[in-house]
Amino acid sequence: MTGKRNTEKNKKTQLPLVVRNKFEELQQRLSITFDNPSLLYNAFTHSSYVNEHRRKNFMDNERLEFLGDAVLELGVSQYLYSTEPGMSEGELTKLRAAIVCEPALVKFANEVEFGQYVLLGKGEEQTGGRMRPALLADVFEAFIGALYIDQGMDAVTKFLDTVVLPKISNGAFSHVMDYKSRLQEIIQQSNSGHLQYEVIEEKGPAHAKTFITVVRLSDIELGTGNGRSKKEAEQEAARHAISKLKSEQVEGEI
């Protein structure tokens, strides 16, 4: 691994000053400074750009994407392992898959505006490649791979702490998990009471409603949640209830 990392670090990518300045702007915005800027440039270099600049020393981002895919999975896996002690291996795998899937990566890439920095060939640019989901997902993974080579896992984790991990704790992926069943299992371990879910408020127009739901056990409120459907709001309420029970360490006292 050390040899590979040194090989990548020694490869240089030469870009016009105006382009390098854009990448300086990106680093400032992300509060990240690459020791080897060529790694950053490579992460945003599409194969179509390389094909149109064959006389220059350009590398595309495919190898970095390969590495970044694995590093991203590791970072997310470590986070889920430490924050979700009650999840089974199957549940952890399912949740991780939702976090690292293409649609999620596209959202992350758009949030940090990676699309505007991608180096594309003219043909790819003209056909809208800059906004192509697969391209944006690949760039996000390639950036993580570049950051890992340049600064190691701690820097990657810090970046994920800003862009990815807060969305997990805020319930952005609760739709893929059955939190209601998990909450029911927790309650059944120490109590025979019945969980009740109630919609306490509806907001917004009929075509874009938001439901706010509370979950109770024997008239004790355990959690509230909101969602675009009643089912989604119930899942979110259950997720908050589980978090509350864990933080208060009262699973065995209910």
CB atoms within 10 A of CB 153: 13
69 is catalytic: yes
Q: Which of 147, 211, 122, 164 is nearest to 5 (CA)?
A: 147
Q: Which of 25, 30, 19 is nearest to 140 (CA)?
A: 30
Calpha distance 125→119 (Å, rounded): 9
Cβ proximity of 42 and 62 under 8 Å: no
- Stretch (H or E) spanning 210: strand 210-217
**Choice among 141, 150, 232, 234 that is catalytic:** 141
**Choice among 8, 60, 65, 69 that is catalytic:** 69
62 is catalytic: no
Cβ proximity of 225 and 170 under 8 Å: no
CA angle 213, 217, 223 (to 5 degrees): 40
Name residue 203's beta-bridge partners: 210
Query: Which positions are annotated as active-site residues?
Result: 69, 141
